[in-house]
Amino acid sequence: MRRACWLTVVAVALVACATAASSDSGYAAAARPLDARSRAATCTESEKAQRLAAVKKYLAGMAKARRAYFGSHHSRKARRAFVKRQQAKLAALRRAAACEVPVAGAVVVESIPIPGSGGIGVGLGRVWALDREAHDLYRIEPAAVPTGSDVSHSELLPLTGAVGGAAPVVGKGAVWIADGLGNKLLRVDAAAAHALNPPAVTHISTGPTSDEMPITAVVAAGSVWVGNHHGGTVARIDPKTNTVVATIPWGAHGGGGIYHMTTDGSHIWVTGSRTSDVAEIDTSTNSIVRRTPVPTGTCGGLAVDASAVWITSGFDAPYTCWWSRPDLGVDRIGVSRIDRATGAVTRIDVGGRPIDVRSAFGSIWILVDAPRLELVRLDPATYHVIGRLRLSDATCDTKKTPYCPGAELGSALEVGFDSLWVRRAAAATVPGALLRIVPS
C-alpha cells in the first residue's frame, strides 16, 4: 500500500506539471539539433534472428511475387520499376540483418535480496539502500570484488528507523533522504547504528510551506542541497545546524517541478518535469548561471563528468518533460548529452527507455526499463552501444503503463567499490534486489 502511495504522489506531481519555464538564467545556452547517431547498427540476439528470418522469407518469395506481377503487367517500365522496388527492399532487409549483437559489457557478481523499492547511495565506506514500503534503510558492507569462481559475501544490515523517500545521499557524516511524503529532509546518523540500535533520524524543514515535497538531494560545497518538487526551489542546508541557509528559485510553487540533481562538487545540475531544460547552479553564488533546453526530455536521472552532463528522458507521457509521437515523427526517448564547454545538446538513442545514468570506468552506463530492464554501456566518444546486460526477463509496454517491473523511481544506479550498483525494485514478476556489477 505504501508503494502505491509513493507511486501515486510522484505520478500526481508529475502529471500536474505546467509547461511554463522559469525566467531566471545567467545566459542562454546554444542547443543544436538532435544528433542522428544511434544504435542503428546494433541489435539484440532475438532481433537479429528475426531480421535474418525476414531476409530468408523475402528471398524465398521474390520469384513468385515477380511472376505474379509480370502476369498482370506487360509494360517493361512497370516491370523494371517492380524489380527495382524488390531489390531496394531486399537491400534494406539485409542492412537491418547486418546489425551487430553487442556483448554484455558487464557481469552481475552479486545479487543481494532487498524487498520493496527505494533508491541507493554510496558513502561512508558502505552502500545504502531503501525499502520505502517498510521504511527500512539497509547498510551494505561491500566485500572485495569477486574474481573467477569466488563468491562475494557483502554484509546486509536492515536499520529500522522510520525512513522513507526517494534515495539516500551520503556525506558530511550522515545519510540524507528527501522524503516528499513527509515534506521533510531526513538526516540519518546511521554509520554506527546496528539492528538493535536503530539510527537517530532528524527531520529538517526544506521550505516555508507544508507542501514543499523535497524529492532529491546532493552533497556539495559543505552543504546538503535539496530539490523541492512542489516548492519550485533548491534549498541549501547547513549540516551543522540542520537549517536552510539559502534558497535558489527554480520555478513557481505548485503542481510539480524539480525531479533529479547531480553535482561535480562545485556546480549542481537540476532537472524537472515543469520544464524540459537543465539548470546549472553555481554553489559559490547560490544562483542559476545557465539553463539548457533539452528536447529529449528530463524526467530521468542525470550524471556529470569532466566534459558533459548526461540526462535520461525517463518516464512516460503525458508528463511535459517527456513526449513521444512517432505518428508525427517526434520521438524524444533517449539520452541527451550537454557539452559543458559549448552548451551543445546531442540526442543519443540507446534502445528502449532510459531512466538513469552514470559515468564510470571510461564508459557511460544507462539503466533502461523498457522493453526490459537492462544496463546499457555506451562509448562516450562514438555514442555507440558497446554492451547490453539484461537484468530481468519481464517485459513492459510503456503504451499500457508508465511504470515498468523493476524500475526504481529514485536513484537506481550508483558507482563505488570498483563496481556498479543497480537497485531493482520489487514487482509481481520481479524480486527486489541490489545488484553488484563489474565491467567486462
Q: Are 258 and 244 in contact (CB under 8 A)?
A: no
Give me the residue label for grid cell 533520524: 201
Q: How confident is the model at residue 21 (pLDDT cuts 50, 70, 90)?
A: very low
Span between the terminal Cα atoms of the chain, in Å: 39
| Per-domain boundaries in the chain | 2-41+102-439, 45-97
pLDDT for position 12: 35
Q: How confident is the model at residue 204 (pLDDT cuts 50, 70, 90)?
A: very high
Q: Can you tell me the distance from the alpha carbon of 423 to that of 122, in angstroms, rounded to the nearest whole number? A: 12
Stretch (H or E) spanning 53: helix 45-72
Please classify residue 146 by burial: count the beta carbons closer than 10 Å to its beta carbon, then call 0-12 exposed, 13-18 middle and 19+ buried: middle
Q: How confident is the model at residue 310 (pLDDT cuts 50, 70, 90)?
A: very high
| Tens of pLDDT, residues 354-391 | 999 999 999 999 999 988 999 999 999 999 999 999 99
Q: Are 162 and 135 in contact (CB under 8 A)?
A: yes
Q: Are 410 and 364 in contact (CB under 8 A)?
A: no
Average pLDDT over residues 51-61: 95
Task: Give me the sign of the Cα torsion angle 60, 63, 66, 71.
Answer: negative
Q: Can you tell me the distance from the alpha carbon of 74 to that of 81, in angstroms, rounded to the nearest whole number? A: 12
Q: Can you tell me the distance from the alpha carbon of 391 to that of 352, in angstroms, rounded to the nearest whole number? A: 14
pLDDT at 34 over 80: no
pLDDT for position 46: 78
421: Cβ contacts below 8 Å, ≥ 6 apart: 120, 122, 127, 413, 414, 415, 434, 435, 436, 437
Instruction: Please provide the size of the chain in residues.
Output: 440
pLDDT for position 135: 86
Cis peptide bond prior to 371, omega within 30° of 0: yes
Q: Can you tell me the distance from the alpha carbon of 214 to that of 236, in angstroms, rounded to the nearest whole number? A: 12
What strands lie across the sheet with 258-263, from one edge to the other? 258-263, 267-272, 277-282, 287-293
- Within 10 Å of residue 124's Cβ, how many Cβ atoms? 15
pLDDT for position 154: 67
pLDDT at 317 over 70: no
Q: Report the candidate in 200, 142, 148 with the shortest Cα–Cα distance to residue 175.
A: 200
Q: Directed axis angle between helix 76-97 and helix 45-72, to 10°?
A: 170
Q: Are 383 and 37 in contact (CB under 8 A)?
A: yes
Q: Can you tell me the distance from the alpha carbon of 271 to that of 295, in angstroms, rounded to the nearest whole number? A: 12
Give me the residue label for grid cell 535539496: 226
pTM: 0.79
Residues of the chain with pLDDT > 70: what percent? 81
Q: Can you tell me the distance from the alpha carbon of 252 to that of 254, in angstroms, rounded to the nearest whole number? A: 6
pLDDT for position 158: 72
Q: Are 228 and 206 in contact (CB under 8 A)?
A: yes
pLDDT for position 162: 64
Mean pLDDT of the chain: 83
Q: Which one-letter amino acid corresponds to residue 427?
A: A
Q: Are 125 and 139 in contact (CB under 8 A)?
A: no
Q: Are 367 and 354 in contact (CB under 8 A)?
A: yes
The three cell numbers of residue 420 are: 556498479
The torsion angles phi and psi of 85, rounded to 5 degrees, stand at: -65, -40
The three cell numbers of residue 116 are: 520493496
Q: Are 186 and 177 in contact (CB under 8 A)?
A: yes
- Within 10 Å of residue 327's Cβ, how many Cβ atoms? 6
| Tens of pLDDT, residues 80-139 | 999 999 999 999 999 999 987 768 899 998 899 999 999 999 999 999 999 988 888 888
Cα angle 380-383-388, degrees, rounded to a multiple of 5: 95
Q: Are 307 and 341 in contact (CB under 8 A)?
A: yes
| Tens of pLDDT, residues 230-255 | 999 999 999 999 999 999 999 877 76
CATH of 2-41+102-439, picked from 3.30.70.580, 3.20.20.100, 1.10.101.10, 2.130.10.10, is 2.130.10.10
Residues of the chain with pLDDT > 90: what percent? 56
Q: Are 301 and 312 in contact (CB under 8 A)?
A: yes
